[in-house]
Amino acid sequence: MDSSITEEQDFLDAAMARRDTLAAHLRDELDHDATDRVEVARQRMLRRQYEALRQAGEGLVFGRLDAVDGTVRHIGRIGLFNAPAEGSPDASLDASRDASRDEDEPLLVDWRAPAARPFYTATAIEPQGQRRRRHIRTTGSIVVGVDDEPLVGGGSDASGGGDGLDGLVGEGALLAALDERRTGQMTTAISTLQHEQDAIVRADATGPLIVQGGPGTGKTVVALHRVAYLLFTYRQMAERAVLVLGPSARFLDYIARVLPALGETAVVAATCDTLLPGVTVGRTAGRAVEEIKGRAMWQGVLERRVAALVPAARELKMRWDGDFYVIPAAVVAQALTSAVQGRTYHRARAVFAEQLHQLLADTVAEQRESLLDEMEEGYEDILSRFSVEPSGAASRSDLDGLLSEDEIDELRERIAGNATIARFVESVWPTLEPQTLLRDLLHDPDLLARLAPELTPDEITAVVAEPESWSSGDIPLLDALWELLGDVEEPRPQGEFTADKARSQRGWVYGHVVVDEAQELSEMQWRMVLRRCPSRSVTAVGDIDQTEAAHRHTTWSQAVRAVLGDRWTPAELTICYRTPREVMELTGPVLFEAGSRNAPPRAVRSSGVLPWQLAVTTGELAGIAAQSVQELQQRWEGGTVGVIAPGSRIPGLRAALGDVPLLTATQSKGLEWDATLLIDAEAIAAEPRGFNALYVALTRCTQELGRLTITDPDQPPG
């Protein structure tokens, strides 16, 4: 072991030195005053490369593959070559993106490169040409351990255990990682990605991929590593950025360090509630109204509403230079039909205004021509009385006051810039503000009854009774309405980096979208996702059995049918890496009560700690909860303890528990702690979709679960 550690330490020292050399070179090359467009683009690329190198200090090297043919490859967070490609040190980072090429073996292979894939997928049954896999554990720049796995000649499965889990590879390194204390922030798991996880990370991105995975199966880890892999493999995605949608701001904070640590910065992280710049969710609506507003039928309602606002054809009488000009209704109808075709409301309005400017200019020219014809005819009658032929000076050609094409164009431009004409166009086809329009719709029962026949009178009453401030269910409706109306003016992207530009624009089209806790999305939220990625390059991960949202979906097919139809690919994660067997054994009956017929994921490890339970009265609860948390913190020193309770009991517990995370089951989704204290599970189960929430609450710990049950549940919370 000592000689192996020394060997890997020598390699890590060389890789760190190469990284430092490249980082120093890139830092010297960065010019913050660049103004030339080409140079600005180059500086942006150099800055991305520098950030990737700077972030790679921790865990730079974590693996090694020894092939049967004697080839040795080290695997790391980024790729590095021994020598600059084409004479430029900064180019070696780019060259690492093709780290599988034979003619130029890299010093360090990027974990996303094809050459690194056997590190995750090779097994003793299918060694893929590899003789040994080595996991290298480091702390900073120090190698602290190695874990070798023979891939040929061993005669056992790759896990080395007797669980029958032949799909697992590197179980020793995986279990070591799982036993590490939780710190409240997600860490990367590149070195311990398992076979079924890696298959999802590297799956094609040509359409929606929906990944079902129970608690602790690594859904979020897989989703985020998939982002890094796709951005590495398909560089055009970086030009459009990747959107990562999470269930809450707390969750986004939790994962905030993962993607930068993987070397990817072309990412926008958001929740569905924060997707609209300048729009803030100010309240929580009731479940019944949230379910109503989540239905796909609202798309048709909003389309009918906007279509009804397009003006009807009628004769238009316009004033220009003191005279009135009439545009016939038939001509206006043609202009309206031409303007509306496939366009948003405001874009169609702009096209109609341009056509109206041209129609007025043409009408002015035509009316002037008619007037001149009349004047010329009268002039010739006068001259004929004196038997005098019109002189050359008085011929028609010289009296011709017709406007040339250039003069008509100039007239049209004057009309387009005239404030009075602009006010007239506004009166005929007004600009609309989406927030005002949606508020008016949602608080007009007669309008809703006419446009939304799918709603019952009671449902309309419930919607109309809602306050005017926005709830989560309003955001997808507002987004759909915004899309139908379109922007009045073309928005200008803000910021230097792609992610900043994407974040500033409501209508930005992303290269890929990743959705975590996707089972919570309503049908209208799914439409909001696809609006941002019309190519349907989407990865959605979640657990349908952990659904707590107000919608009625209990299967993935039900959840996505209204938006995706049958055009999506299912995938599944079946192995629980986080939650120990002792805790997972409690989940079967809970799932059954939740209405699920799915089997819980198979737990891969045992913590050796049985779940425990204490019965307390409401009066004792705060004191015993504080004492239990203190004992858990002592047992899991260096890690984290979280407390989950029904919302009604949280105010009475907050003062007693201090800074300890104290959350509802819904708020805890996606998080994990070394130990969890679950309070009043019966009250959680009694809430809407309560057994789904209880399933979430039971599976947040990596080591120990404690439960406090209430012996006098009829007493009001203290």
> pLDDT tens across 449-505, in order?
999 999 999 999 999 999 989 999 999 999 999 999 998 877 776 666 677 888 888
What's the N-to-C CA distance of the chain in angstroms? 57
pLDDT at 373 over 70: no
Give the C-alpha separation, 492 to 432, whole Å.
20
335, 436 contact by CB (below 8 A)? no
Average pLDDT over residues 359-369: 85
For residue 486, give every residue at least 6 positions away whose Cβ sits within 8 Å of its Cβ, in sequence order, or none. Answer: 343, 344, 345, 346, 347
- CA dihedral defined by 193, 199, 205, 210, rounded to 10 degrees? -90
The answer on pLDDT for 675 being more than 70 is yes
Report the candidate in 514, 561, 516, 519 with the shortest Cα–Cα distance to residue 533. Answer: 514
Percent of the chain clearing pLDDT 90 (strictly above): 47
* Mean pLDDT, rounded, for 541-550: 89
Q: How far apart are CA 301 and CA 343, in angstroms?
A: 18
Chain segment 315-326, per-residue pLDDT in tens: 999 888 888 999
Q: Which residue has the higher pLDDT, 371 or 215?
A: 215
Quick one: average pLDDT of 522-545? 94
Is the pLDDT reported for residue 166 higher than 80? Answer: no
Q: Which residues are annotated as a binding site?
A: 213-220
pLDDT at position 669 is: 82
- Predicted local distance difference test score (pLDDT) of residue 263: 57
d(CA 218, CA 224): 10
Residue ranges at the known binding site for ATP = 213-220
- Residue 683 CA, distance from chain mean position: 33
pLDDT digits 0-9 by tens, 212-249? 998 888 888 888 888 878 887 887 887 888 899 988 87
Q: Which of 178, 113, 177, 120 is nearest to 149 (CA)?
A: 120
pLDDT on residue 180: 55
Say yes or no to pLDDT of 393 above 60.
no
